[in-house]
Structure formats: structure tokens, C-alpha cells
């Protein structure tokens, strides 16, 4: 079968591979709609996971089940399914401890385009199908449903990690698709003021639609002084990081009130250390918590997030700025994600 792969660091291309094997608990799925992720860009062009050879890329998909293992009870060939980017082993000790995304080791619940071939193949393998697939509700457009694989759950996890509460002032750093979903998640959790940081005008407009009350352009001056000016020197209750780099944490710690929490979902693709400024961290006693996490995956999460779309609480349509038709356009969509034209939020490929 054909797949679009990372051939090595900085190298991508089409390859031929054997059809994956379907174990008793697994499923084989044919993609219906897929999307590239900024994480694919970190993986290929920053070498964030180290070198990988001939690994099919992609971890965001809606698909059609073509085969299920003998022990799979809830899905059958022909079912249209949402496939989460993170597909944990649900019987692992890490999952039992509440950290399914780390089942089998740190980040090991993230299998597609990390430890095994991803979803940019003619077929892909899903472990623990009953635990990891969700039926696609018929009212959701498959192209929009792809946003449930990763963008919605990751952005929302940022709001969970930051523990956004009613009335909190929240800083969201980064308003690409992940940050925009963090803005939406913070608003749904009842945030009061939401400061959103980004420079692309389209993203700023969409951030306002999702509930941002002020936009901070990090290219116009540093984030710290802009937030401090707008909050009369008080800073914010919570912060979600969905963009920037290892140095962003220092800026965010500076604007966080004592007792505040940072929920980081940014994938730090490069840099050796995250530096926390000593004084602004209360000399180690400021009760400023930094929580960083990989999104939770699995079926229940997908079903619950899908219900937000079904019942009109969330629309992901504004994220889909570029739609491609045809499997062969996966390459163009990925390169677009790498180049980030200013009118891009998220490309999707309907296969």
C-alpha cells in the first residue's frame, strides 16, 4: 500500500509498505479525511523525536473501518469513525493511574507517526479499537470531524491543565488551530477576560469569534508589558501555552498571579531547557504551577467532544481555511503546514 512518509530528517516522500496486520483487538481503517499537524512539522523538520526512517506520517483522521479483529465488539467494517491522535493501551498501568496518554512509557499513547505508521497511508492500523475509535455522528461533516482527532482535544486539554474557572482571566499564547481551541475551551469553561497572543490577522479575528476579549501581537512588543498594561499590573489567573518556544515560559511566569497555573500543550521541538525566572516564580514559593501535557485520546473523549459539535456548542468550521480533494494532495497540505502562509489556520484533505 502507498503512504506519505518521513524518509529521514528533513526528507519526505511517497513510499510503498506492506498492509498492516490486524490483531484480535485492533482495526484497519481507510482514511476518509485527514489533516497534517504542526507536530508533523516538528517531527520531520526539527527532528524533535529523533530520526525516523520510512515512517508514514499523520495522526489526524476520520476513516472507514475495513477490518476488525475477532475480539472487537463495537465496530464493524463500513463504520465511519473518528480516530483520535492518541490511541492508548487501555489496560496499561499508566492508563489505570489516569495517564493513558503515557501508556507504555512517556508519550507512548501517541503511536501514529511516532512509534508506528500514521494515518497518511491507504490503510492504517488502530490498536484497541473498542477503546480508541468513535462512531462519526452523521450530522458532522467528516472534514470538520478531523478537528476532533487532535485540535479540539489538545486545545481543550490546555484549558483543563490550566484549570480555568468561572471568571478567570486567561492568557492564551498562540492562536493557531490549537490555541484557537484553547480559547474556545477556556470560554466554554467560563473564563472572564481572555487575552490571545498571535500576529496573523485572520487568527486574531477567529480568536475573537471564539471568545478572546483582547488580542496581543507579540511582534509589537513583549508579551509581559502588554499584558501588565492591560491588567493594571495585576497579571492573569491562568495561562495556556499553544505556541512560542522554550523562552515563552519565562514571559508567562512573569504575568501569572501567585496561585496561577500554566497549561502547556505546545510541543517543544527544540531548545535544551525551559527556564523559569527565579524572582517571578516567588523564589520558588510563588504557587505558580506549570503543567504540560499530551492530549488525552480514546473513544469516550472523542464521543464527548463530538457531542459539542452535534449540539451546536462548538463550531470548528472557522479552522478549516484550506480544503484539498484527493489522497495525493497530502503532500501539498503538509508543506502548507510547514510554510504557514498568513491566511492558513488548518488544511484538511478529503481523500
Minimum separation from the CB atom of position 344 to ligand NDP (A)? 8
Residue 21: count other Cβ atoms within 10 Å of its Cβ: 10
Site string for ligand NDP, 272-311 (x = CB under 6 A): ----------------------xx----------------
User: d(Cα 160, Cα 177) in Å, to the nearest integer?
Assistant: 17
Minimum separation from the CB atom of position 178 to Zn ion (A)? 8
Beta-carbon contacts of 112 under 8 Å, excluding residues fewer than 6 positions away, are 58, 59, 85, 87, 118, 119, 124
Minimum separation from the CB atom of position 178 to ligand NDP (A)? 3
If the CB atoms of residues 110 and 327 are measured against Zn ion, the closer one turns out to be 110
DSSP 184-238: HHHHHTT-S-EEEE---HHHHHHHHHHT-SEEE-GGGS-HHHHHHHHTTT--EEE
Cα-flanking dihedrals φ and ψ of residue 306, to 5°?
A: -60, -35
Contact 159, 263 (CB under 8 A): yes
If the CB atoms of residues 22 and 268 are measured against ligand NDP, the closer one turns out to be 268
If the CB atoms of residues 207 and 308 are measured against ligand NDP, the closer one turns out to be 207
What does the block give as the cell for 145?
A: 470531524
If the CB atoms of residues 75 and 90 are measured against ligand NDP, the closer one turns out to be 90
Site string for ligand NDP, 58-97 (x = CB under 6 A): ----------------------------------------
Residue recorded with cell 507517526: 113
Beta-carbon contacts of 233 under 8 Å, excluding residues fewer than 6 positions away, are none
Minimum separation from the CB atom of position 95 to Zn ion (A)? 20
In order of 90, 107, 208, 300, the CA distances from 104 in angstroms are 10, 8, 39, 20
What does the block give as the cell for 59?
A: 495522526
Q: Does 210 contact ligand NDP by CB under 6 A?
A: no
175 binds, among ligand NDP, Zn ion, none (CB under 5 to 8 A by kind): ligand NDP
Minimum separation from the CB atom of position 213 to ligand NDP (A)? 17
**Binding residues with ligand NDP: total (CB under 6 A):** 29
Contact 135, 145 (CB under 8 A): no
Query: Which residues from 156-195 bind ligand NDP, rule CB under 6 A?
Result: 173-179
Q: With CB under 6 A as the contact rule, which of the stretches 32-40, 123-131, 137-145, 327-335 interacts with ligand NDP?
A: 32-40
Q: Which long-range contacts (CB under 8 A, 24 or more apart) does 319-322 make?
A: 319/147, 319/151, 319/177, 319/180, 319/181, 319/206, 319/345, 319/346, 320/143, 320/144, 320/147, 320/345, 320/346, 320/347, 320/348, 321/202, 321/345, 321/346, 321/347, 322/346, 322/347, 322/348
Q: Does 150 contact ligand NDP by CB under 6 A?
A: yes
203 binds, among ligand NDP, Zn ion, none (CB under 5 to 8 A by kind): ligand NDP
Minimum separation from the CB atom of position 35 to Zn ion (A)? 8
Site string for ligand NDP, 311-340 (x = CB under 6 A): -----------------------------x
If the CB atoms of residues 39 and 169 are measured against Zn ion, the closer one turns out to be 39
Minimum separation from the CB atom of position 57 to ligand NDP (A)? 13
What does the block give as the cell for 119?
A: 494515518
**Contact positions toward Zn ion, by CB under 5 A?**
37, 39, 150
Single out the residue of 30, 248, 253, 305 in contact with ligand NDP (rule: CB under 6 A).
Answer: 248
Residues that bind ligand NDP (CB under 6 A): 37-39, 42, 150, 154, 173-179, 197-200, 203, 218, 242-244, 248, 265-267, 294-295, 340
Amino acid at each position: 500500500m502507498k503512504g506519505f512518509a518521513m524518509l529521514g530528517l528533513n526528507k519526505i516522500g511517497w513510499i510503498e509498505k506492506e498492509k498492516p496486520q490486524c490483531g484480535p483487538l485492533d482495526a484497519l481503517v481507510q482514511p476518509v479525511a485527514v489533516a497534517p499537524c504542526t507536530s508533523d512539522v516538528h517531527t520531520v523538520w526539527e527532528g524533535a523525536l529523533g530520526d525516523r526512517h520510512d515512517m508514514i506520517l499523520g495522526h489526524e483522521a476520520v476513516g472507514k473501518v475495513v477490518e476488525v479483529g475477532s475480539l472487537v465488539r463495537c465496530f464493524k467494517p463500513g463504520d465511519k469513525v473518528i480516530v483520535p491522535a492518541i490511541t492508548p493501551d487501555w489496560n496499561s498501568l499508566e492508563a489505570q493511574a489516569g495517564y493513558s496518554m503515557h501508556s507504555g512509557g512517556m508519550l507512548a499513547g501517541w503511536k501514529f507517526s511516532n512509534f508506528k505508521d500514521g494515518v497518511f497511508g491507504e490503510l492504517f492500523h488502530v490498536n484497541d479499537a473498542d477503546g480508541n475509535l468513535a462512531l462519526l455522528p452523521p450530522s458532522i461533516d467528516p472534514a470538520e470531524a478531523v478537528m476532533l482527532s487532535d485540535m479540539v482535544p489538545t486545545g481543550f486539554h490546555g484549558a483543563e491543565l490550566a484549570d480555568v474557572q468561572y471568571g478567570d482571566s486567561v492568557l492564551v499564547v498562540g492562536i493557531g488551530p490549537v490555541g484557537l481551541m484553547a480559547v474556545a475551551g477556556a470560554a466554554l469553561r467560563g473564563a472572564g477576560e481572555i487575552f490571545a497572543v498571535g500576529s496573523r490577522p485572520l487568527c486574531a479575528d477567529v480568536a475573537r469569534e471564539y471568545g478572546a476579549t483582547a488580542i496581543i501581537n507579540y511582534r509589537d512588543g513583549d508579551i509581559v508589558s502588554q499584558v501588565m498594561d492591560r491588567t493594571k499590573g495585576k497579571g492573569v489567573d491562568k495561562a495556556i501555552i499553544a505556541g512560542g518556544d522554550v523562552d515563552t515560559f519565562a514571559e508567562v511566569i512573569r504575568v501569572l498571579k501567585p496561585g496561577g497555573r500554566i497549561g502547556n500543550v505546545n510541543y517543544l521541538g527544540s531548545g535544551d531547557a525551559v527556564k523559569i525566572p527565579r524572582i517571578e516564580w516567588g523564589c520558588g514559593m510563588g504557587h505558580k504551577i506549570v503543567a504540560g501535557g499530551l492530549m488525552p485520546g480514546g473513544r469516550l473523549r472523542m464521543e464527548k467532544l463530538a457531542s459539542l459539535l452535534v449540539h451546536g456548542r462548538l463550531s470548528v468550521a472557522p479552522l478549516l481555511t484550506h480544503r484539498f480533494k484527493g489522497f495525493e494532495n497530502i503532500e501539498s497540505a503538509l508543506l502548507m503546514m510547514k510554510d504557514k502562509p498568513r491566511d492558513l489556520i488548518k488544511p484538511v484533505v478529503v481523500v
